[in-house]
Amino acid sequence: MIDFGFCISKSSHIMMDDIDLKYFNKLETLNPDIKTCMSCGLCTATCTAGNFTDMSFRKIILMLQRGKDKEAVRLVKKCMMCGKCMMLCSRGINTRNILLSITRIYNE
Amino acid sequence: MNEHRILVIGGGPAGMETAYQLKNLGLNPVIIERSDKLGGNLSRWDRLFPTSEPAEALLEKLMEQTKDIEKKLNAKITSIEKENNIFHLKLSNGINYKADAIVLCTGFDLFKAEKKQEYGYGIYNNVITNAELEKYFKTHNDERINEPKRIGFVHCVGSRDVKVNNTYCSKVCCATALKQACEIKEEFPEADVYCFYMDLRMFGKGYEDIYLKAQKDFDIKCVRGRVCEVSENIEGKLVIKAEDTLLGTPMKMTLDLLVLMCGMEKSKSSNEIQKMLNISNNEDGFIETRDLFSGLNLTKEKGVFVAGACTSPKTLPETLAEARSAAMEVFNYLGFQDVRN
Ligand code: SF4
Ligand code: SF4
Ligand code: SF4
């Protein structure tokens, strides 16, 4: 076949209907405080790892909610479990515990 | 009671409270209402934020307070003239009034959702408005609301949008959206409920608590991003598009029901009355007040006062507080304590 240099691009939209939130729901059942995140970004602003990498607790939560599990788990690996995010979180979310749960649930 | 007669134009919460306070001050108010009943937009609502108190309870209280006050329902004002600081108002049925002051309490209309054509109101069956959802909560009679599994709320419909010439924030719709989201989740616990917002403006007493409660107890999912378009798929379900701006990714989802949070516009019915009284609009299309600080109940025209959502979007407590202060301004104006006019 002659290659004319055209290709079909994949849609950049997240199709929410096709996302399997099975793991996220499990995470949410174990850590119901996750629901109250208001994306203020305190956790990310203070994050020790986030100073040097693209680690962002706030984004991890959003990614998991939108089915971007792989990207989220890649970020979780950069966490050093220092717990600074937990000390600051304005909603009192147990961020450290959630990070541990993610590691457990998504590595299954 | 003295002879001072005050015409309160508009029989919604602002007008009812103003008239009640004027009467308490020993003046002689008359409520002029164009429809066949008092209550205005409040009578269309089922429950009120932040406590989900029945709208009916507040309405009954206002009704009780105004029961001895003279009212003219179904009133169509044909002319108002001012002569030596006395207003002469004529109604279409031949009744005339002479008054010392007028308080405009003409309130608001909800933004006409069909103007935002991309949201498909009036085109797709399952797109409804905030007012229609309140009506459903009252009557439980709306065939479009049929065990929805996924429900979306669009904030800022007709507000903060230069494309519909309304650049202001309507103030009440963020709290209303989250209130309604919790209420519909209560009715359909299995449903996923999404709120698409740009900013959550939860400024008043108890509003932030609604937000927390919506997240924690009702599992309402708040997505930051404005819905750009709605379409219908072959099964008759709605497909919406928005960007998750916190993640920086565009997203799509199908919904069974979409609720549009229509904002406030000044009530159209006040235009003619304003013309008769020579009262202009501000840049948002609401009635212009003398200033934005201490003259919020005054207009440029001596003897013409204002209260409530006819001057800008307002919550109910704000409206009621303004109504009370308007009554006080009228009292002062009439010479009991002449300070500002
Ligand atoms: S615990 Fe992890 S995510 Fe939280 S501040 Fe420390 S490194 Fe960052
Ligand atoms: S600090 Fe808490 S509320 Fe703020 S973004 Fe992080 S997890 Fe969410
Ligand atoms: S109150 Fe909220 S929904 Fe209403 S216009 Fe303002 S920001 Fe938009």
- Residue ranges of domains in chain A: 20-106
Q: What is residue B319's predicted lDDT score, i.e. its pLDDT?
A: 98
A98 in contact with ligand 1, CB cutoff 6 A = no
pLDDT tier at A12 (50, 70, 90 boundaries)? confident
Instruction: Please give the average per-residue pLDDT across A11-29, as a whole number.
Output: 94
State yes or no: cis peptide before B50, omega within 30 of 0.
yes
Nearest to B164 by CA among B62, B60, B280, B262: B262
| ipTM at complex level | 0.92
By three-state DSSP, how is residue A23 classified?
helix
Using CA positions, which residue lies closest to atom 5 of ligand 1? A47
Select the residue of A13, A35, A36 nearest B251 (Cβ to Cβ).
A13
Query: Which residue in chain B has the smallest CA separation from A61?
Result: B247
- Of B51, B50, B6, B48, the residue nearest B25 (C-alpha): B6
Given this model, what pLDDT does residue B290 score?
Answer: 97
Residue A83 and residue A86: Cα distance in Å, rounded?
5
Average pLDDT estimate for B129-155: 97
Beta pairing partners, B227: B242
Taking a contact as any Cβ pair under 8 Å apart, which residues of chain B between 275 and 294 contact chain A? none
- Nearest C-alpha of chain B: how many angstroms from A3? 31
Residue B337: what pLDDT? 57
Kindly state the DSSP code that residue B85 receives in the 8-state scheme: T
Among protein residues, the one with the nearest Cα to ligand 1's atom 2 is: A79
| Cα distance from N-terminal residue to C-terminal residue, chain A | 43
- Which class for B90: exposed (0-12), middle (13-18), buried (19 or more C-beta within 10 A)? middle
Contact B102, B304 (CB under 8 A): yes
User: What are the CA-CA distances from residue B174 to residues A96, B38, B112 (Å)?
Assistant: 31, 26, 18
What is the per-residue burial (b if ≥16 Cβ within 10 Å, else e) of A49-71? Answer: bbeeeebbbbbbbbbbbbbbbeb
What pLDDT digit, counting tens, does each position of A27-68 carry? 999 999 999 999 999 999 999 999 999 999 999 999 999 999
Would you call A13 and B221 a contact, using CB atoms and an 8 Å cutoff? Answer: no
Residue type, B152: G
Q: Which atom of ligand 1 has the smallest separation from the CA of A80?
A: 7
Q: Which of B198, B331, B332, B325 is nearest to B261 (CA)?
A: B198
Q: Which residue has the tokens 């508009």?
A: B10
Identity of the residue in A13, A37, A63 whose CB atom sits nearest the CB atom of B247: A63
List % helix, strand, coil for chain B (3-state, nearest 5).
30, 30, 40
Ligand 1 in reach of A96 Cβ (< 6 A) = yes
Give DSSP secondary structure letters for A37-93: -----HHHHH-TGGGTSS--HHHHHHHHHTT-HHHHHHHHTT-----HHHHH-TT--
Domain boundaries, chain B: 5-107+267-333, 111-264
- The whole-number pLDDT of residue B175 equals 98
DSSP-derived secondary structure for B149-206: SEEEEEEEETSSBGGGTB-S--SSHHHHHHHHHHHHHHH-TT-EEEEEESS----STT
Cα(B156) to ligand 3 centroid in Å equals 5
Judge if the beta carbon of residue A79 lies within 6 A of ligand 1. yes
CB contact under 8 A, B251 and A66: yes
Task: Calculate how close chain B gets to A34, using CA atoms only, in Å.
Answer: 9
Gap from CA of B161 to ligand 2 centroid (Å): 29
Asked if residue A1 has pLDDT above 90, the reply is no
Residue with CA at minimum distance from ligand 2 atom 2: A89
The pLDDT, as a whole number, for residue A3 is 85
Closest CA to B292 of B269, B322, B263: B322
- Residue B203 CB less than 6 A away from ligand 3: no
CB B62 within 8 Å of CB B323: no
- The gap between the terminal CA atoms of chain B, to the nearest Å, is 23
Any ligand 1 atom below 6 A from CB of A72: no
> Is B252 at the interface with chain A, CB within 8 A?
yes
User: Cβ B244–A14 below 8 Å, yes or no?
Assistant: yes
pLDDT band at A106 (very low <50, low <70, confident <90, very high): very high
Distance from CA of A7 to the nearest CA of B (A): 21
Question: Burial, B323: exposed, middle or buried (Cβ in 10 Å; 0-12, 13-18, 19+)?
Answer: buried
Neighbours of A21 (CB within 10 A): 16
pLDDT per residue over B208-239, tens digit each? 999 999 999 999 999 999 999 999 999 999 99
Q: Which of A10, A11, A12, A17 to mutate to test the interface with B (most CBs of B within 10 A)?
A: A17
Buried b (16+ CB within 10 A) or exposed e, B309-321: bbbbbbbbebbbe
A17 and B251 within 8 Å at the Cβ level: the answer is no
Q: Is B199 in the pocket of ligand 3 (CB under 6 A)?
A: yes
pLDDT surpasses 70 at B1: no
Digit-coded pLDDT (tens) for B30-68: 999 999 999 999 999 999 999 999 999 999 999 999 999
Mean of all residue pLDDT scores within chain B: 96
Yes or no: say if A106 and A60 are a contact pair by the CB < 8 Å rule: no
At residue B341, the pLDDT reads 47
Burial of B11 by CB count in 10 Å (0-12 exposed, 13-18 middle, 19+ buried)?
buried
pLDDT above 90 coverage of chain B, percent: 97
- Of the pLDDT bands very low, low, confident and very high (cuts 50, 70, 90), residue A7 is confident
Nearest ligand 3 atom, CA B155: 3
Average pLDDT over residues B91-114: 97
Look at residue A2 in the predicted model and tell me its pLDDT: 82
Q: How high is the pLDDT of residue B2?
A: 55
Q: What pLDDT score was predicted for residue A29?
A: 97
* Least confident window among A76-80, B3-7, B55-59, B216-220: B3-7
Spatial strand order in the sheet of B127-129 = B127-129, B257-262, B150-157, B192-197, B221-224
Query: Domain B5-107+267-333 class?
Result: alpha beta
Verify whether the Cβ–Cβ distance A36 to B215 is below 8 Å.
Answer: yes
Question: Which pLDDT value is given to residue B201?
Answer: 98
Dihedral of CA B74/B108/B327/B281: which sign? negative
B215 in reach of chain A (CB within 8 A):
yes
Does residue B13 register a pLDDT over 80? yes
Higher-confidence residue of B209 and A2: namely: B209
Residue the block writes with tokens 């919506």: B214
Judge if the beta carbon of residue A82 lies within 6 A of ligand 1: yes
For residues B2-10, give the mean pLDDT.
89
**Rg over CA atoms, chain B:** 22
Per-residue pLDDT at B193 exceeds 90:
yes
Please tell us whether the domain made up of B111-264 is placed in CATH 3.40.50.300: no
